[in-house]
Amino acid sequence: MTAAETGGMAARPVHVGEARAAQVGEARAAQVGEARAAQVGEARAAQVGEARAAQVGEARAAAAALDLEAAGAAAELYAAHYRSLVRLAVLLVRDLATAEEVVQDSFVAMHGSWRRLRDSNKALPYLRRCVVNRSRSVLRHRVIVDRHPPQPLPDMPSAEQGAMILLERSAVVAALHRLTERQREALVLRYYGEFTEAQIAAAMGISRGAVKSHTSRAISALRDVLAGEA
């Protein structure tokens, strides 16, 4: 065997060792890279999770603050306007219990819509419009369904109930319910509620010109009804 052959055979193990070392190094580098990538991924996922949790917490806190604001506004409006709204509703539906229910439902609707309103100046017109619209629904329901007569009053009604019943029984109120729905609403809001034309228009969902027209026709019709009963 020549010296060249001997040297070639001796060199082969060196090449094999280097290749194995390179493979091991690459494998370890790959493992380290994967571990680092996993750590980075976990860190990012944790950051995203924390950000989402913070957003959810902020959203819940904002919703709670909004609910508190709505409850406070509803309480103030209830204290200031509940009775006047009930008086209006009584004139429209001619039933104290139903009128109270109409107004209470209107306050519930206002509370639910507070996210859109966010302003007491908008909330009161919204309440009035709700009272008018819900009173219309009551009257239409009475036409469709053969409603039973109202239950008798308690033996000792409150002073407010007594005043409401006297109001319901008056000749003018009886005549009001012989007008058309829009005429009655316009007259009640104008002369009992003391609304401006703009407020009536907003509550009834019509133009100010239509308010004038309905009011004028209502006054004329009311005079005719009362004159016929005189």
Distance CA 39, CA 198 (A): 66
Confidence of residue 146 (pLDDT cuts 50, 70, 90): very low
Label residue 213 by pLDDT band (50, 70, 90).
Answer: very high
Question: Is the per-residue pLDDT at 117 higher than 60?
Answer: yes
Confidence label for 153 from pLDDT (cuts 50, 70 and 90): very low
Residue 170 CB burial class (10 angstroms; 0-12, 13-18, ≥19): exposed
Does residue 61 lie in a domain region?
A: no
- 211 in a domain, yes or no? yes
In-domain check, residue 163: yes
So what's the pLDDT on residue 149? Answer: 53
pLDDT at 86 over 80: yes
* 65 occurs within a structural domain: no
pLDDT 10s digits, 190-200: 888 888 899 99
| 2 CB-contact burial (10 Å; exposed 0-12 / middle 13-18 / buried 19+) | exposed
Q: What's the rounded Cα separation, in Å, for the pair 200 and 187?
A: 10
Q: Is residue 7 part of a domain?
A: no
* Residue 32 is assigned to a structural domain of this protein: no
- 11-18 contacts, C-beta under 8 A, 24 or more apart: none
In a domain, 187, yes or no: yes
Q: Is 139 exposed, middle or buried (0-12, 13-18, 19+ CB in 10 A)?
A: middle
Count of domains for the chain:
1
| Residue 153 belongs to domain with CATH number | 1.10.10.10
Q: What is the pLDDT of residue 193?
A: 82
What proportion of the chain, given as a percentage, has pLDDT over 90? 20
Range of the domain at 119: 81-229
66 in a structural domain: no
Span 207-219, mean pLDDT?
Answer: 92
How many Cβ atoms are within 10 Å of 120's Cβ, its own excluded? 13
